[in-house]
Chains A and B, each alone.
Chain A
Amino acid sequence: MAQASNPAVSFDTREEVDFVVVGSGAAGGIMAKELAAAGHSVVVLEQGPHLQAVDFKHDEWGYQHNNDLVWSTRHGNRQTFRRNENEEATLQESVLGYAHNVGGSSVHFSGNFWRFRPIDFMEASVRGTIAGTNFADWPISYEDLEPYYTKVDWEIGVSGLQGPWDPPRSRDYPCPPMPIKGSDVLLERAAKQMGLTSYPAPVAILSQPHNGRPACIHCGFCNGYGCEVNAKSSSMVTMIPLALATGTCELRTMATVSQINTGESGRVTEVVYFDENGTEQAQRTRAAVLCANGAETPRLLLMSANSMFPDGLANASGFVGQNLMFNGYSSVVGLFDEPVNAWKSVPTTRVVHDFYELDESLGFYGGGGIDGRHPTAGTPLGFALSAPDMFGSPSWGAEFKENLAFQFSHCAAFDGHSTSLPLATNNVTLDPNYQDDFGRPAIRCTYSDHPDDLATMEWFLNKTVELMEVAGANSINGFYPETGQTGNVHLLGTCRMGDDPMTSVINSDHRAHDVPNLFMCDGSSLVTGGRGQPTMTIMALAFRAADRINQLAQRNEI
Chain B
Amino acid sequence: MQKELLSRRAFFNSLKDATGKSVILLSMPALLHACRESRQARLAGEDFQTITEEEAIEFDAITARIIPTTETAGAREAGVVFFMDAVLGDSREEQHAILKDGLRELQSAAVQEFDVAYFHLLDARQQDQLIESISDTSFFFTLRYLTIAGMFSLPEYGGNRDFVGYDVIGYQNRGAWTQPYSFYDADFTERGE
Contact = CB atoms under 8 A, between A and B. Distances in A.
Nearest to B144: A396
Given A60-B153, A405-B168, A408-B171, A179 B182 contact: no
Contacts, number: 122
Range for the number of chain A residues in contact with chain B: 35 or more
A75 to B, nearest CB: 9
B152 A384 contact: yes
Contacts of A397: 65-66, 68, 128
A289 B175 CA distance: 38
Given A219-B175, A401-B70, A405-B168, A57 B154 contact: yes
A353 interface: no
A220 B177 CA distance: 8
B166 interface: yes
Interface string B76-92: 00000000000100110
B48 interface: no
Contact of B177 (A189, A217, A384, A398): A217
B177 A345 contact: yes
Contact of B176 (A59, A217, A401): A217
B141 to A, nearest CB: 9
Interface string A180-215: 111101101100000000000000000000000000
Contact of A182 (B66, B70, B185): B185
A57 B175 CA distance: 10
Contacts of B182: 181-182, 338-342, 344, 409
A186 B183 CA distance: 11
Interface in A125-179: 179
A405 B171 CA distance: 9
Contacts of A405: 72, 168-170
A383 B170 CA distance: 13
Nearest to A74: B91
A179 B185 contact: yes
Interface in B132-168: 135, 144-145, 148-149, 151-154, 157, 165-166, 168
B70 A381 contact: no
A396 B66 contact: yes
A404 B153 contact: no
Interface of A: 57-62, 65-66, 74, 179-183, 185-186, 188-189, 217-220, 228, 336, 338-345, 380-381, 383-385, 395-398, 400-402, 404-405, 408-409
Interface of B: 65-68, 70, 72, 74, 87, 90-91, 128, 131, 135, 144-145, 148-149, 151-154, 157, 165-166, 168-171, 173-179, 181-185, 187-188, 193
Given A219-B175, A336-B184, 16 more contacts: A66-B90, A179-B185, A181-B181, A182-B182, A182-B185, A185-B184, A185-B185, A217-B175, A344-B181, A384-B148, A396-B131, A397-B68, A400-B66, A404-B168, A405-B72, A409-B170
